[in-house]
């Protein structure tokens, strides 16, 4: 269940057998026939995948996201641990300490662990000689992998709280979020072991890229994940503001230190155990990436982690089906596997569309039998328009009204995702880059300096 091994022996055998079958089919029936069959399969996948995502998005408003009329008083609050992984964060430390100190939680029951690599002199030097009450410095031993989940695992060994949460260095959590999480767990059965707060960006107006990024997060956290929550489907967690029952987290084995989207992987492992993740009505603000190269590096890491997560959990499809059930199994395929597949296949389909428009139907008709051509055209036109509409709905849900018109150009943003996806695929194929955690530079917009 670890991404330390990219392909299991069974997966290597299956991939080799699939390649032989494909080569044999091409030899027997011809290359064009096999490619046409592939295009029919891809078209059906797109229709199902886009349809499933849109259905969840437009079902989200009927969900029962955890909301709170009253919050527990101080006497009812248990010990709580906040894990804050830091690496080369010297310039953000002062603001970070102020935000964490502003959390509305009794200091005698709050443990804040600052997880710093032992050779990270920049961050260590920025910390005050005397930390606020309840704050502790935890040094992470040097050595591979140098990843956020590895640091969190070290921190969990020191955690004393009944519950714990992860915050990144640039996060601005709602001050009452810990109280809300306690209320959520108190009103939920024991099999609810994690509650996920919504993530939102505070700087959507920096440029076109940040507006698209903000709309994407609004769609994902305010609609799509709420749809998954409504139907109790496996929820790939966000990288921050996920609150856990600490004993359940330890029982799960905590985070996979080799998975660069350890959050998504953990959400699936929770579902496989028969436990549940719920969404709660609380917001943590972050800084949206405003520079293209920085954004591509961050997105490559995320997509690489989704590839790792899909490969890990598909080592035994039969077991995965048994543990998640049929609905959960197919939801996993469409939320994790299909999202990666789309980013890799989109450029191919766009190129075929351009060829059709320039050279006419005869240039591609051999690859698209009649039914596939009409269905593919419908998915391309209707699917793209509806996904643009869904992004607009996300903007409205988060009151980012002026970004609505930007969504008319969101297909260009999807093209950038494909660039990041191919970069992620190359990194996954290279042993030296497979588990590499590329740092995302923050502080590109005034009022939020730092790197995370």
Proportion of the chain in helix, strand, coil states, percent, rounded to 5: 60, 15, 30
CA dist 356 and 47 (Å) reads 20
Determine phi and psi for 323, rounding to 5 degrees: -80, -35
pLDDT averaged over the chain? 93
Please give the pLDDT value at position 442: 66
The pLDDT tens digits for 338-388 are 999 999 999 999 999 999 889 888 888 888 887 888 888 898 899 999 999
Please give the pLDDT value at position 450: 42
CA max distance for the chain: 75
What lies within 8 Å, CB to CB, of 185 at 6+ separation is: 163, 192, 195, 243, 245
Reply yes or no on whether the pLDDT at 448 is more than 50: no
Please give the pLDDT value at position 452: 39
The residue ranges of DSSP E strands in 57-167, in sequence order, are: 80-86, 110-117, 135-140, 163-166
Start-to-end C-alpha separation, the chain: 27
DSSP string, 145-198: ---HHHHHHHHHHH---SEEEE--TT-EE-TTHHHHHHHHHHTS-TTEEEEEEE
Are the beta carbons of 295 and 213 closer than 8 angstroms?
yes
Of the candidates 256, 215, 228, 139, the one whose C-alpha atom is nearest the C-alpha of residue 396 is 215
Reply yes or no on whether the pLDDT at 63 is more than 80: no
The pLDDT tens digits for 113-160 are 999 999 888 888 889 888 999 999 999 998 889 999 999 999 999 999
Report the percentage of the chain scoring pLDDT > 70: 98
CA dist 400 and 220 (Å) reads 14
User: Model-level pTM?
Assistant: 0.94
The pLDDT tens digits for 272-314 are 999 999 999 999 999 898 999 999 999 999 999 999 999 999 9
- Domains in the chain (CATH in brackets) are 1-452 (3.90.550.10)
Please give the pLDDT value at position 447: 63
Are the beta carbons of 303 and 340 closer than 8 angstroms?
yes
CA distances from 57 to 158, 281, 391, 446 (A): 39, 17, 10, 33
């Amino acid at each position: 269940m670890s991404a330390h091994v990219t392909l299991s022996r069974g997966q290597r055998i299956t991939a080799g057998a699939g390649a032989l079958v494909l080569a044999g089919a091409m030899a027997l029936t011809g290359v064009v026939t096999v490619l046409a069959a592939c295009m029919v399969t891809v078209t059906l996948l797109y229709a199902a995948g886009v349809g499933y995502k849109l259905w969840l998005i437009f079902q989200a408003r009927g969900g029962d996201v955890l909301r709170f009329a009253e919050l527990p008083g101080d006497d009812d609050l248990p010990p709580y641990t906040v894990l804050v992984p830091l690496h080369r964060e010297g310039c953000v430390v002062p603001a970070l300490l102020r935000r964490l100190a502003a959390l509305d939680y009794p200091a005698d029951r709050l443990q804040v662990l600052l997880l710093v690599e032992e050779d990270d002199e920049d961050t260590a030097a920025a910390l005050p000689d005397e930390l606020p009450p309840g704050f502790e410095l935890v040094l992470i031993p040097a050595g591979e992998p140098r990843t956020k989940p590895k640091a969190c695992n070290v921190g969990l060994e020191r955690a004393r709280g009944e519950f714990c949460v992860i915050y990144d260095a640039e996060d601005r959590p709602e001050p009452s979020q810990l109280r809300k999480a306690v209320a959520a767990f108190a009103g939920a059965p024991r099999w609810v072991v994690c509650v996920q707060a919504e993530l939102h960006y505070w700087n959507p107006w920096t440029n076109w890229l940040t507006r698209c990024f903000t709309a994407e997060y609004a769609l994902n956290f305010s609609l799509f994940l709420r749809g998954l929550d409504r139907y109790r489907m496996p929820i790939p967690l966000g990288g921050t503001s996920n609150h856990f029952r600490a004993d359940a987290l330890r029982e799960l084995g905590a985070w996979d230190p080799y998975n660069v989207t350890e959050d998504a992987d953990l959400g699936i492992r929770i579902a496989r155990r028969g436990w549940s993740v719920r969404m709660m009505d609380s917001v943590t603000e972050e800084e949206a990436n405003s520079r293209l190269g920085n954004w591509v590096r961050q997105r490559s890491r995320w997509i690489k982690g989704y590839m790792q997560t899909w490969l890990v959990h598909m080592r035994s499809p039969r077991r995965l089906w048994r543990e998640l059930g049929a609905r959960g199994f197919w939801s996993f395929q469409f939320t994790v596997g299909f999202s990666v597949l789309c980013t890799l296949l989109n450029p191919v389909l766009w190129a075929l569309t351009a060829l059709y428009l320039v050279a006419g139907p005869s240039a591609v008709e051999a690859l698209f039998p009649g039914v596939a051509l009409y269905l593919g055209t419908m998915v391309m036109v209707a699917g793209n328009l509806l996904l643009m509409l869904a992004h607009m709905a996300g903007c409205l849900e988060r009151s980012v009204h002026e970004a609505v018109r930007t969504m008319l150009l969101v297909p260009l943003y999807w093209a950038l995702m494909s660039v990041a996806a191919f970069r992620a695929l190359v990194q996954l194929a290279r042993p030296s880059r497979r588990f590499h955690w590329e740092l995302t530079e923050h502080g590109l917009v005034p009022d939020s300096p730092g790197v995370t």
